[in-house]
Amino acid sequence: MASLPDPREQLAVALDLPDGRAALKLVNRLGDACLWLKVGMELYYAAGNALVAELRNRGYKIFLDLKLHDIPNTVAGGVRSASHAGAQLLTVHAGGGGRMLEAAANAAGPPGAPRLLAVTVLTSMDARELEAVGVFDPPAEQVLRLARLAFSSGIRGMVCSAEEVNVLRKELGPEAFLVVPGIRPAGTTAGDQRRIATPYDAISAGASMLVVGRPITMAADPAAATREILAEIAHAGAVLVDRA
């Protein structure tokens, strides 16, 4: 019988906060309820590597969500800098093209470099917004196109919505590390997200890791909210194992 993964390895709490002080205040409330913390652009630009080091010293794993998108040489340098910062996960935009993705993958080759995640189509975007930037295919087709490009460029991690994760799992196989943001437990608001899902549904569809922000960070008890999501992840994992 297959063993169940640790649900804490399948959840990243998004520290979408304006500064290091606010982030550490939240982290103090989370305690050991979570293992992975996602540091995005707003927080990283405000607090930098000093905050990353503090979080690592506290025993957390760091998902650095910078969505690198530039010429190949510049992105490769960004990947190397993230390696020095101690991030274990790092995002790049799949829309940067094959040469950029290959440069990023090569820069992430040495030991200690972060696992790269190629962002396909932001979960805040729908078909109408894609059309506005010249993409007339449905979001699912654009996600698959970009995921194939990233995979062929040497990147094995993808960021997609729960609506596409099942297709990517079938297309890319078990090797792919599929990260799904836009997670909203039942009863919470969607906010500015468009393509959303519950934790249970996303894991059931084949997600490797979920990213959850406001349902945790804005909860009256962030640690309790985290544990509820972990329980839902564990339940989905148990059902998958039973079906195998």
67 is catalytic: yes
Residues in a beta bridge with 118: 92, 158
Separation CA 183–CA 150 (nearest Å)? 23
Can you say how many angstroms the Cα of residue 86 is from the centroid of all Cα atoms in its chain? 17
What residues have CB less than 8 Å from 243, skipping those under 6 apart?
Answer: none
Separation CA 100–CA 8 (nearest Å)? 32
Among 156, 40, 43, 158, residue whose Cα is nearest residue 95 = 158
Separation CA 37–CA 212 (nearest Å)? 10
User: Where is 67: in which H helix or E strand?
Assistant: strand 61-68
Contact 224, 188 (CB under 8 A): no
Catalytic residue selected from 25, 38, 61, 67:
67
Radius of gyration of the chain (CA): 17
Active site residues: 67
